[in-house]
Amino acid sequence: MPAPFPADCVYLTGPTASGKTAVGIELARLLDAEIVAMDSMTVYRGLDIGTAKPTREERAAAPHHLLDIVDPWEEFSQADYAAVARGAVDDILARGKLPLLVGGTPLYLKTLLRGMYEGPPPDWDFRRRLEAEADQHGPTYLQDRLAKVDPPAAAKLHANDRRRLIRALEVFELTSRPLSEQQREFEHPRDEAMGRVFLLDWPRPELFARIDWRVDVMLDAGLIAETEAALATPGGMSRTARQGLGYREVIDMLEGRLAPAELADAIKTHTRQFAKRQGTWFRSLEECRKIAMSEPTDACRTAGVIAAQVAA
């Protein structure tokens, strides 16, 4: 049951396409910090375009940790992330530097700030059975089933979020207690984290325009070829990697479930929906201090605003 992270950390978060990478690099420079990625997909080697992973030039501008640490065929869990992030943070602190955690995976952010309920180990037979049942009974089957045993958990999750729906059902199956009930002790913020978590907050129309632009850039940069290459590796792509935005839609296209002409719009739609869910998560975390964003962006100015608040 991993404990919350040390107070001597700064966090920069925000929805997808909010500009975290550029602001994070400038903030690392101002704070003499090292960046620890807080993203569930940039951990994968070879998945660069669809994850908007920092470029070589961006990585050279500030030390980065937890990028490219697992292969696409490997599973990588919330608990795995908490363990490797703890190691990176401890190492940075031991060298007298400031850890700056940058990313938009809300579950990882909450884990770092408040700790995590680990629960029982996975039951892969149970998971495979639920996957088959969901395929047979339709897109709302898992959420409807979860609503009967754990309504709060079902209400928080999207019907398409199979992985987390199955995990919630699995926890109930193995412990006879709802996951939401067991997680409650991790629902409260710590005083020492207040004022150290910064959220890049965009008006929705501007954020959606940035998302649409970025999806077009990713497709032009070779997202389809990158997905094909990952699928062609000896191990293919894990369940987790296949769920990455952009990758899952390309896979659907390659496997005949989505027409090529519909690909861009599908990625844009799903990414906008994900950004909305991120916003819901961020609003539930009292630790987040909003930093108002608008076009045109100025990463240096935004980093300066945040650095001043860190020092205050």
Domain containing residue 281: CATH number: 3.40.50.300
pLDDT at 3 over 60: no
171 and 76 share a domain? no
- Three-state SS letters, the chain: CCCCCCCCCEEEECCCCCCHHHHHHHHHHHHCEEEEECCCCCCECCCCCCCCCCCHHHHHHCCEECCCCECCCCCCCHHHHHHHHHHHHHHHHHCCCEEEEECCCHHHHHHHHHCCCCCCCCCHHHHHHHHHHHHHHCCCHHHHHHHHHCHHHHHHCCCCCHHHHHHHHHHHHHHCCCHHHHHHHHCCCCHHHCCCEEEEECCHHHHHHHHHHHHHHHHHHCHHHHHHHHHHCCCCCCHHHHCCCCHHHHHHHHCCCCCHHHHHHHHHHHHHHHHHHHHHHHHHCCCEEEEECCCCCCHHHHHHHHHHHHHC
| Interior angle at CA 148, CA 147 and CA 149, nearest 5 | 95
- Counting Cα atoms < 13 Å in the Cβ hemisphere of 169 gives 25
Q: pLDDT band at residue 145, thresholds of 50, 70 and 90?
A: very high
pLDDT at 5 over 90: no
In a domain, 2, yes or no: no
Point out the domain boundary residue: 145, 166, 184.
184
Comparing CA positions, the residue from 84, 35, 85 lying closest to residue 60 is: 35
- Counting Cα atoms < 13 Å in the Cβ hemisphere of 74 gives 15
Report yes or no: 178 and 172 within 8 Å, Cβ to Cβ: yes
168 and 217 share a domain? no
173 and 300 share a domain? no
The count of domains in the chain is: 2
Whole-number mean pLDDT of the chain?
A: 92
pLDDT at 108 over 60: yes
How much is the average pLDDT of 87-113? 93
176 and 238 share a domain? no
Integer CA distances (angstroms), 52 to 48, 189, 211, 260, in order: 6, 30, 11, 22
42 and 82 share a domain? yes
211 and 174 share a domain? no
Give the tens place of pLDDT for each residue, 21-52: 999 999 999 999 999 999 999 999 999 999 99
What percent of the chain stands above pLDDT 70? 93
Domain of residue 145, CATH code: 1.10.20.140
pTM: 0.80
Domain residue limits at 294: 10-116+190-311
171 and 289 share a domain? no
pLDDT at 236 over 70: yes
Report yes or no: 80 and 105 within 8 Å, Cβ to Cβ: no
In a domain, 14, yes or no: yes
In a domain, 3, yes or no: no
298 and 170 share a domain? no
In a domain, 4, yes or no: no
50 and 106 share a domain? yes
202 and 257 share a domain? yes
Point out the domain boundary residue: 134, 154, 184.
184
19 and 160 share a domain? no
236 and 108 share a domain? yes
In a domain, 168, yes or no: yes
pLDDT reported for residue 181: 83
How much is the average pLDDT of 253-257? 97
In a domain, 102, yes or no: yes
Point out the domain boundary residue: 136, 162, 184.
184
How much is the average pLDDT of 110-120? 80
In a domain, 5, yes or no: no
In a domain, 223, yes or no: yes
